[in-house]
Each structure stands twice: as C-alpha cells, then as structure tokens.
Structure 1
Amino acid sequence: MKMIVCRNSDMLESRDFLFYASPYAIARNQAVEKHAHEFVELAYVAEGEGEHEYRGRKHLLKEGDCFLIEPNEAHSYRVGPHAGLVMYNVLFQPSVLNVELEALRDEGPFDTPMLLDPPGGFDFFVALEPAERLEMMYLLDRIVAEFNVKKLGYRILIKTHLIDLFVFLGRCSDRRRQRLQPFEDAQAGEEKMIRQVCAWIETNYDKPMTLERISRRCGMRKSAFSALFKRHTGKAFADYCNGVRIQVAKQLLENGDDKLIQIASQAGFDNCGFFNKYFARTVGMAPGQYRRERRAGSLRSDK
C-alpha cells in the first residue's frame, strides 16, 4: 500500500498563510496509519494515552507529551482499548515565522521547535508537568480560537501566540536541562497554577468542564484541588465557572436579541432551566427582566 503524503494544499490554510491548528481525537482501538507531510507538525497530547511510531521506533504517549514531526518523515498513531487519545496539532511551514524566528535565534540557543533547520534535522520532545500543561492548553486554545474565528488581524495574533508557545516550550526544556523543578517555590507554583486554571475557564466557558477533568490535568486529587482552588479564589470551582458564564450571559442579554435558550447555550449552560434559576439567584432578577431593565436604562441615558 502506498503511503499517504499530506501536501501543504491538503491541510494548510493557503499559499500565503501556510498554517493550520486544531484538536482531534482518536478513539479506543483506532489508529492513524503511517503517513508523512510536507509541513512541520507540533503535536501535544491533551488527554489519554497511545502509541506513536516515528523513525522506526515506537513511543508510548501520555497526557502532557509534546513533540515535533519533521517534514517528509513517516509516522503513525495507535490507541489501545483502555483510553482514547485527544491531541492538538499545529501544522505550519517555518516560512510563516521567518522574521520572528530570526529574532529568536539572536536571543541565544533555544532547545525548541524554533530551530527548524539544524544540521542533520531536528528532534524535540518534552513531557510537561501538570502546571505546565495548563499553560500549554491556554496557549493552544488561543491559537485554535483565532484560527477558527478568523477575525481581523488573526494571522498576526496567531504568529504572536506561536512565539509565546515556542518560548514557553523553550523554558520548559531549559528547566529539564538544568534539572530544575517547574516551580521552585510551592506557594508561588500553586498561585500560578490557579491563575492558569482561571484563565482557561474564562477562555473556554462555553465548553464542558468538570472538577474531575481539571484536577486530573493539574495532577491532583479532586478534593485537594477543590480546596486549593477555593483558598485562592474564594469560590468553589463550579461557582467560579458559572460566575464567568453569568457575566457572558449579561453581555449577550444587553447586546443581542437571541432567545434565552440560545443565550444559555452560548454562555456554556447546557440546561436553560438551570440557567434561569442560577441567573435569578446570583443577579437578583430573571434574565428577561435583566434585559428589559438594562435596555430601558440605556434608552434613558441616550436621551
């Protein structure tokens, strides 16, 4: 069977922006057969476990693994019966960042995917610690959101976020080389981790999120993470998430005419009845009344 080769035109956005980013899932007992591509692939394992074959060697993958695939190198993925695999793919040609890469090279030696043309090729792998994984997810989600929505200036922001991502990975790799812990001060590490969780919630409020999933990403038991989160934010995890969603819902009510069931969904509530009750309990009035009063107040202030 002839091996599949993915061309730039197959996957990347366009000839003047050779880039693509997206998460994807491989189900249990499934595989991505051996293939190669013309572009660079930066892969990150967000959830689950599996096997990656690359350059004739098999590697076990687990949550937090980040690695780079060279152009024209065959590789494949296989997932066993115990857990699926959720990965993020950032695909690009180095020419997308020519100017930025040159500036970074001037900063000194970075053990990161930025050095995309060393003698004999490149080989990058790093296993991220729990707190580092949160930062990685935050950076990746921003890149994917910009790529999907494509608002004015999205290409510039994607390049900026890519540089953030590469510098972050360079620092993670540098810590490994110097045998430093990700956070030498435990309290400072906890505070940064909770800030990263909050930033992730504020970016992904419309996605399903559970205490179990987030605590696992932080490498903690649910009870320990829950206590830590409340100590730093003053709120239970669920209340913090729903508080962010209520603020989003307020903006939607003030600035749009969508039905309440649509607003509930856009703000991340999967049950409109619960949204109505939670909104009334926290805001002091029902969503419909809030919209009417805000609109009436806005009309009075315009006169």
Structure 2
Amino acid sequence: MSETVSLDYGSEEGDFYMQHIKRTEPFERTNHFHGTYEIYFLLSGQRAYFIKDRSYLISPGDLVFINKHDVHKTSDVGRPGHERIVINFSDTFISKDHPLYHPSLFNVFRQPAHVLSLKLQDQLFAQSIIGKMDKELREKATGFETYIKLLLVELLLFSSRYAERNETVPFEHASPLHKKISEIVQFINSNYDQPMTLSGMSEQFYMSPYYMSRTFKEITGFTFIEYVNMTRIREAQQLLRATDRKIIDIADGVGFANIAHFGRMFKKLTKQTPHEYRKTHR
C-alpha cells in the first residue's frame, strides 16, 4: 500500500482536525488554503513547501506553522515517500474567552518565516505532545476533547517560546526559479487591485509568457490568472467580513472591473455568493 493513514480525525475546515499519514510513493498536495490554522510536523522524508510567497525545504523534525487563509502546497524532494502529522484548528477551538487563551499562543503563526527547525531534544518534546494528542483521539476517554485543547495550548506555547529563543529557518528557495516565482507572487499579493496580464508580468520579470505560465503553475500549483483571482477573492472575503462597504465597491477595490465576473469567481471559489458569504460570516 502506498499510503497508510493511522489517524484521521475531524475535518480540515472544522474546529479541530488531526491526520497522521505515511506515504511510500510520490505525492504532491495541490495548492489550497483554509480558514483554520495549520501545524505540519514532518517525521520522515523531505518536502518542498510553498507557503504564501516563499518556498522552504522541510526536513524531519521541522515544525511548520501556516496562518489561516495562507496559500500552501507541498511536493516531493529527492526520493519519494514521507511521514507527517497535520493539525488544523479554528479560532473558536481556543477562543479569546477560553480560560487557556493567551495572545502569545498565536505569535508563531505571524512570524516572517513559517518553519521551526527543532533541536533533537525539542523534537522529542514536541513529538511527545503530538503523540499524546494522537492517543487521546484514538481512545476517546472521558474528557478527551478538553485534554486535546490543553495539549494544543502546550504545543503552541512551547513553539512560541522556542521561536523567541531561536532563529527560525532562513527560507531557502529550492532553485533560482523558485526565487523568481516567489518575487512574482509577492508582487501579485501587493498589487492585486491593479490590472494584471500574463504578458505584462512576464515582460516585467524578464520571462517569456509560455515559460512563466508553465513554471508558475509547477511551483505554486495555480495558473497565473487563478492565483490573481484567488488573491482578489481572499481580500474580498476579508472586506465582506470586516466592513459594510457595498459589494460593487469591494469588487472594484480588489481589482475586478466587472461585477458579474467578480460574482462568478467568488461563487466558484467559495461556493457562496458575496451576499451569502457576508450574511454567513457577520
């Protein structure tokens, strides 16, 4: 069997999710983002990780922290096969009114770099916490949900303190091409409200349109236009949640010249109309 799932609890967009998988064959997780925080712990193998606008080389013992709504994608490096544990949790799982809540718990998700490369002793400590979570979710003894929150808080607090004491892994691009695509992604993230075309961007970054299109898809998992539209829609979601601006003004503000096109793209990516989304998230 090429994939062994030893734990699969909850759903990725739910309040709490944990999955433990071992793979022996090539695997690439497609680009995606979600409204939950993610912790990724690599147990064996090596992975390339594209997060937001940077690429990282991930080795066993590394802890990866991905903030909610950040685009990310993993792919193989070297020999195929890896083992990893993923934890996702929502804002409501450890909310501000929870007795265990403290703002510092989330500091590790807001750092410029997304990876903690743990020393061996700290790897074992983090793995022991995650192992206890795994055991609780399998056995589901009395109060296991409460203990899971306690263990998650311990892991987050340990990680935030570790990040304060130690330098995070300097992000290193897998290749000069990864660096170039990261520069393009950073430009899109900062200028999504401006008109953008593949031909214009390829000229600006000194690449042929065909080569840029192919490598952008290969590294990020998105076509160029998919990424531009997705970035604009994510910003529109934030504005719909946090402001009372008219939908037509939001569409124009995030770079859509046509309100109908905005509506189609929004429904395609979120499965809701802008009006439905605002009503659900207010």
With normalisation by structure 2, the TM-score equals 0.49
Task: Look at both structures and tell me which one has the larger radius of gyration over its CA atoms.
Answer: 1
* Structure with bigger RCO (C-alpha 8 Å, 6+ apart): 2
